[in-house]
């Protein structure tokens, strides 16, 4: 593990109580400033992997190190600190729709406030200013005080990105961030994520269904099939035959 390595996943298995083995011997690193996409069919273990990384669920075997600290062995206080440094972006946004964009972004700072401060929304002027600045950076300067229920899907996802960024994360995890969006909104979101990695050096680990999108934006692609890594390499190394292997279908079926 080098100084550049932010995340190290080491021989991780995940077996659910019903006996389903969702991950098997998964190992890889993510370095500073690296944009890594995880592709694979539904049920291949992509979402399980992200949930293990931020300890939403426990890995059954192996270990995960985030900035040199074991995630699996972390106690409750340590897990809270780890999560403060990992920004999460979700497929279905996970916003509070009755609140406006600014209030939703500030929710990304809840881990830094007491329960009373959080409940009363007693955010510092510095955090409010920072939240507004991030929303402006993401092209939402006219939506800062807009109730999130009135926003488009792409705008909601940008609010989700802003909520992750205000944490000052050391890494961003994205679970199918464009699965619910149309092609144009998807392009906007991917370009913002890519720019964030390049501009701020924050590594992104992104689950994607869209192979061509992964090839367009990634420094490296990981292919999961039945919970195992069957490909890890640069986009140019991802051949049609390998894509067919990852998805368990022929090239003709992928095209059709």
Q: What is the DSSP letter of 147?
A: B
Angle subtended at Cα 8 by Cα 224 and Cα 43, rounded to the nearest 5 degrees: 20
**pTM, 2 dp:** 0.91
Q: What fold is seen in the domain 1-81+206-256?
A: Rossmann fold (3.40.50)
Secondary element (H or E) of residue 90: strand 86-90
- Domain definitions of the chain by residue range: 1-81+206-256
Structure tokens at 131: 């939240």
Q: Could you list the pLDDT tens digit for every one of the 256 residues in the chain?
A: 456 899 999 999 999 999 999 999 999 999 999 999 999 999 999 999 999 999 999 999 999 999 999 999 999 999 989 999 999 999 889 999 999 999 999 988 876 766 667 666 678 899 999 999 999 999 999 999 999 999 999 999 999 999 999 999 999 999 999 998 999 999 999 999 999 999 999 999 999 999 999 999 999 999 999 999 999 999 999 999 999 999 987 655 554 4
Q: Give the full edge-to-edge strand order of the sheet including 86-90.
A: 86-90, 171-175, 204-208, 35-39, 220-225, 228-233
Helix (H) or strand (E) holding 237: none
Cβ contacts of 224 within 8 Å, gap of 6 or more: 26, 38, 39, 40, 44, 45, 46, 49, 230, 246
Give Cβ neighbours of residue 24 (< 8 Å, ≥ 6 apart): 13, 226, 227, 228
Quick one: how many helices (H) and strands (E) in the chain?
Answer: 10, 10
């Amino acid at each position: 593990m080098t100084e550049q390595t932010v995340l190290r996943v080491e021989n991780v298995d995940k077996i659910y109580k019903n006996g389903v083995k969702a991950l098997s011997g998964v190992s890889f690193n993510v370095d500073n400033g690296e944009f890594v996409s995880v592709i694979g069919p539904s049920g291949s273990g992509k979402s399980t992997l992200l949930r293990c990384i931020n300890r939403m669920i426990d890995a059954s075997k192996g270990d995960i190190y985030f900035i040199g600290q074991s995630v699996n062995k972390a106690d409750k206080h340590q897990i809270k600190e780890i999560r403060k440094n990992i920004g999460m972006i979700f497929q279905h946004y996970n916003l509070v729709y009755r609140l406006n964009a600014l209030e939703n972004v500030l929710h990304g700072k809840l881990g830094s406030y007491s329960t009373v401060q959080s409940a009363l929304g007693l955010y510092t002027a510095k955090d409010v200013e920072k939240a507004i600045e991030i929303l402006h950076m993401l092209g939402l300067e006219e939506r800062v005080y807009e109730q999130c229920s009135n926003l488009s899907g792409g705008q909601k996802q940008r609010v989700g990105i802003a909520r992750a960024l205000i944490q000052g994360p050391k890494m961003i995890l994205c679970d199918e961030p464009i699965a619910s969006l149309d092609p144009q909104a998807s392009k906007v979101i991917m370009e913002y994520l890519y720019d964030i990695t390049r501009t701020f050096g924050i590594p992104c680990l992104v689950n994607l269904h869209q192979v061509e999108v992964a090839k367009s934006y990634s420094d490296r692609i990981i292919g999961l099939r039945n919970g195992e890594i069957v490909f890890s390499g640069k986009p140019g190394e991802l051949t049609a035959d390998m894509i067919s292997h990852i998805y368990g279908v022929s090239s003709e079926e992928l095209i059709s």
